[in-house]
Amino acid sequence: MQLNKQLFAALSLTAFAGAAQAADEVVVYSARIDELIKPVFDAYTAKTGVPVKFITDKEAPLLARLQAEGENTPADMLITVDAGNLWQAEQQGVLKPLKSSVIDANIPAQYRSSTGSWTGLSLRARTIFYSTERVDPKELSTYEALADKNWEGRLCLRTSKKVYNQSLTATLIETHGAEKTEEIIKGWVNNLATDVFADDTALLQAIDAGQCDVGITNTYYYGRLHKDNPNFKVKPFWPNQADRGVHVNLAGAGVTLNAPHPEAAQKLLEWMTGEEAQGLFAGLNQEYPANPKIEPSAEVQAWGTFKADSIPVEVAGKRQAEAIMLMDRAGWN
């Protein structure tokens, strides 16, 4: 009988090569893609000898899997590329609130969860980009002003289904209230030069090609295009410098509630907020390090400095559903 049991166990293990876990490793579910995260893990493994295993997918499926696995999850850490999804993961109770003096010292409070469930790792400014041929930057001032009549037929936007736009709208609601925000969004929609785009890259190329004059995208998309083509006829503009500042989102991470290796995961996360990792993490994607002690890469610095919105990024998550409904009502597809 015992033999049969063992045989059965062995057979089922061969068929379903099990999720057996080494004592000292960290397992990560990452919404940040392989090439933007693996070098960071490789550097950590080289330094500490701790292997890091990961799979990549979109946030929502990863979150669903974390929830479904519950206390059996193999995952120690969740990485997302926006604050809204981290907030949501925290709401669903799949993240472990951490007390880490290292993280608290490295990352400013507005870029962390108020409960310590997650922390930002890199900042992504979502700003205005303009055609250097058809726009005088003096015409530009704020996100809100893009709703003015003089931009009619000149503005390009990405789809409202992208979380970055949902986060931007959420912070507008937090600042102006729903009614005023809906007016602004309707103004934007009214000014559209063409149908909204499926991604930021296509939008920036449309400004370059002359389909529209201004648009709102994340800076690193511009960084990639500019790197490929130094004659790219588009430049960033930092809006709202006289008031709240440029909208920033973040890529960040939290340790999971049922992490099999919580200490190892926390050590990795703390290391990722530190000086060694921050330059690498942000530099891979031309982002801004979330740790203010670290300078962004030279390319990124060449775009100039700006004042960032000091609103806690959690707002993006809290007001996300409200923001989507508002964008739907305003006709932003």
Partner 1 sequence: MSHPAQRRWYPLAFAVAALVLLPLSVLLLSWGEIDREIWSHLWQTQMPRLIGNTITLVLGVGVGVTLIGVSLAWLTSLCEFPGRRWLDWALMLPFAIPAYVLAFVFVGLLDFSGPLQTLLREWFGSGLRMPRVRSTGGVIIVLVLVFYPYVYLLARNAFLAQGKGLMEAARVLGQSPWQAFWRVALPMARPAIGAGLALAIMETLADFGAVSVFNFDTFTTAIYKTWYGFYSLTSATQLASVLLLAVMLVLYGERRARGAVRPSNERQRGAALYHLKGGKAFAASAWCGLVFTCAFVVPMLQLLSWFWQRGRFDLDERYTALILHTLYLGSIAAVLTVCVALMLAFARRMTPTRLMNSTVGLANLGYALPGSMLAVAIMLAFSYLDREMVIPLSNWLGGSGKPILLGSLGALLLAYLIRFMAVAYGPLENSLARIRPSLPEASRSLGVGGVGLFFRVYLPLLVPGALSAALLVFVDVLKEMPATLLMRPFGWDTLSVRVFEMTSEGEWARAALPALTLVLVGLLPVVGLIRKSARRYGQ
Residues making contact with partner 1 (CB under 8 A): 5-6, 8-9, 12-13, 15-21, 27, 33-35, 53-62, 64-65, 68-70, 72, 74, 88, 159, 161, 163, 166, 194-202, 205-206, 208-211, 221, 224, 228, 320-321, 324-325, 328-329, 333
Binding residues for Fe cation: 220-221
Q: Which is nearer to partner 1, 8 or 310 (CB)?
A: 8
Q: Which is nearer to partner 1, 89 or 121 (CB)?
A: 89
Q: Which is nearer to partner 1, 127 or 240 (CB)?
A: 127
Q: Are strands 214-218 and 119-131 parallel, antiparallel or unpaired?
A: antiparallel
Residue 82 CB, nearest approach to partner 1 (Å): 11
- Which helix (H) or strand (E) element contains residue 289? strand 288-289
Residue 8 CB, nearest approach to partner 1 (Å): 6
Residue 246 CB, nearest approach to partner 1 (Å): 21
Residue 200 CB, nearest approach to partner 1 (Å): 6
Q: Residue 332 carries which side chain, given as an amino acid letter?
A: W
Q: Which is nearer to partner 1, 57 or 104 (CB)?
A: 57
Q: Which is nearer to partner 1, 69 or 183 (CB)?
A: 69
Cα–Cα distance, 33 to 303 (Å, whole number): 25
First CA to last CA distance, the chain: 63
- Which helix (H) or strand (E) element contains residue 123? strand 119-131
Cα–Cα distance, 331 to 98 (Å, whole number): 41
Binding residues: 220-221
Cβ neighbours, 10 Å, residue 81 = 26
DSSP 233-265: -EEEE---TTTT-BEEEEEEEEEBTT-SSHHHH
Residue 245 CB, nearest approach to partner 1 (Å): 26
Give the dihedral of Cα atoms 218, 223, 224, 227; nearest 10 deg.
Answer: 170
